Amino acid sequence: MAALLRCASKSQSYTSLCDGTRRFTVAMAAAFSHPVNKRPFDNLIQVRSISSPSVSLGGFSEMALGNKRKYYMIGGKGGVGKTSCAASLAVKFANSGHPTIVISTDPAHSLSDSFSQDLSGGDPVPVEGVDSPLYALEIVPDKLKLKEDLQSSTQGGGSAGIKDLMDSMGLGAMFDQLGDLKFEELMDNPPPGMDEIVAISKVMGLLESPSYSMFSRIVFDTAPTGHTLRLLSLPDFMDSSLGKMMKLQKKLASASAAIKSVLGKQEKQLDTPDQLELLWGCTRKVRDLFHDPDAMEFIIVTIPTVMAVSESARLCRSLRKENVPTRRLLLNQVLPPSSSDCKFCAMKRKEQMNALNLVRNDPELSRLSLIDATLFDAEIRGVPALNFMGNSIWK
């Protein structure tokens, strides 16, 4: 810990940030003169931690143990490096013998940039340069399709179809008393988090198909904190709004069928309740995954600043409140110890130490295993760099 604040000499150049990070540039240059699968980064540098070994436990051997399928969701505040951490973990899993797929559900994707490959086609793309199969995918939730699914769940289209039906049965006044259900608003504006839930559910369905059943590790690069919290709160919305709607439509289903049969307008289409039940099933499926400690783990990524740590503490409390398995906190962009520091570096180390103390004193974050990820002086991009990063932080 004392190494963080040590400044042996201030005569060094301001642009030389630290010895540890400078070695990474040398390693990068050496890497591109070797085949990727020979792992040229191994043993070239040693990245040291700002935390004591007893605190900083990545526990990767435990994460890689067994062939039972397991999901890892990497989340946190925007701009803390979630994508690089998720991609490096996926590379590490693949190089440890696990067929792996890494999936981005963040609307502002950067997974393609991280791997230096185009992953936006909507289908899993194979990633080259790893020991076991590794696929990557960027998902853009089809909000228009989701809206159509919701709208088609009311016969005749939206709330107007329900009103016409009830008017024909002499129950128009009853419909006017059901304004609290807000059918039109629900049809035109799917609830926050619904598109992410449907996307994750579709991915889970895809992975159950024979073509992709081989994957034993699934890594999600999630959207920033706000999206995650909305996704976690969605089941409550489903209970209150869609639940009421399903009950109402079930009561009207038999009457609707009888009237349309008399009028000769019987149509062959999916039962109204079934469409809503499919959406309900998506929510339940994802919620059950979120609550299963044997199948899923949420890893919080943050950086050593007071603002980022404070948001991570709130996220951790929300995850625990929702019973989402959370065991690890990854502290990214940590300045490594150096034999010499400029004034700027010394101030940054002091700032990072304040943030680390905040982590240790927080009643929620202090319960998590802390993983240090060093700040590198070169961009982490492409499989060789991700392999190096993975070997540095996932130990």
What ranges do the domains of the chain cover?
66-146+200-232+287-393
Count of helix runs (H) and strand runs (E) in the chain: 15, 8
109, 137 contact by CB (below 8 A): no
Q: Which amino acid is at 389?
A: M
**Residue 322, pLDDT score:** 84
Structure tokens at 207: 């992975």
C-alpha triplet 13, 19, 24: angle, nearest 5°: 120
Cα 314 to Cα 60: distance, rounded to the nearest angstrom: 26
**DSSP character for 211?**
G
Going from the C-alpha of 158 to that of each of 189, 226, 275, the distances in angstroms are 12, 29, 13
pLDDT, greater one: 146 or 319: 319
120, 112 contact by CB (below 8 A): yes
- Catalytic residue numbers? 106
Structure tokens at 307: 């603002």
* 332, containing H or E segment: strand 326-334
- 330 band by pLDDT with thresholds 50, 70 and 90: very high
**Those residues with Cβ within 8 angstroms of residue 10's Cβ, 6 or more apart along the chain or in another chain:** 340, 341, 342, 343
Instruction: Give the fold, CATH level 3, of 66-146+200-232+287-393.
Output: Rossmann fold (3.40.50)
- 16 band by pLDDT with thresholds 50, 70 and 90: very low
Distance of CA 317 to the CA centre of its chain: 17
**Residue 249, pLDDT score:** 62
Segment 44-66 shows an average pLDDT of 58
Comparing 248-252, 354-358, 360-364, 382-386, the range with the smallest average pLDDT is 248-252
Which of 227-241, 333-347, 358-372 is most confident?
358-372
Per-residue pLDDT at 355 exceeds 70:
yes
225, 311 contact by CB (below 8 A): yes
- 371 band by pLDDT with thresholds 50, 70 and 90: very high
Going from the C-alpha of 250 to that of each of 169, 192, 361, the distances in angstroms are 16, 25, 52
pLDDT tens digits along 282-313: 777 777 888 899 999 999 999 999 999 999 99
- 91 band by pLDDT with thresholds 50, 70 and 90: very high
**DSSP character for 264?**
T
243, 219 contact by CB (below 8 A): no
**Residue 37, pLDDT score:** 42
**Residue 353, pLDDT score:** 94
94, 131 contact by CB (below 8 A): yes
344, 252 contact by CB (below 8 A): no
pLDDT tens digits along 130-161: 989 999 998 876 544 555 555 555 444 444 55
**Residue 265, pLDDT score:** 54
Percent of the chain with pLDDT over 90: 36
Cα 80 to Cα 170: distance, rounded to the nearest angstrom: 59
Structure tokens at 280: 């309900």
Per-residue pLDDT at 45 exceeds 50:
no
Q: How many residues does the chain have?
A: 395
169, 251 contact by CB (below 8 A): no
Predicted model pTM: 0.74
**Those residues with Cβ within 8 angstroms of residue 196's Cβ, 6 or more apart along the chain or in another chain:** 105, 141, 223, 227, 230, 231
384, 129 contact by CB (below 8 A): yes
pLDDT, greater one: 320 or 197: 320
Comparing 69-73, 149-153, 248-252, 362-366, the range with the smallest average pLDDT is 149-153
**Residue 174, pLDDT score:** 52
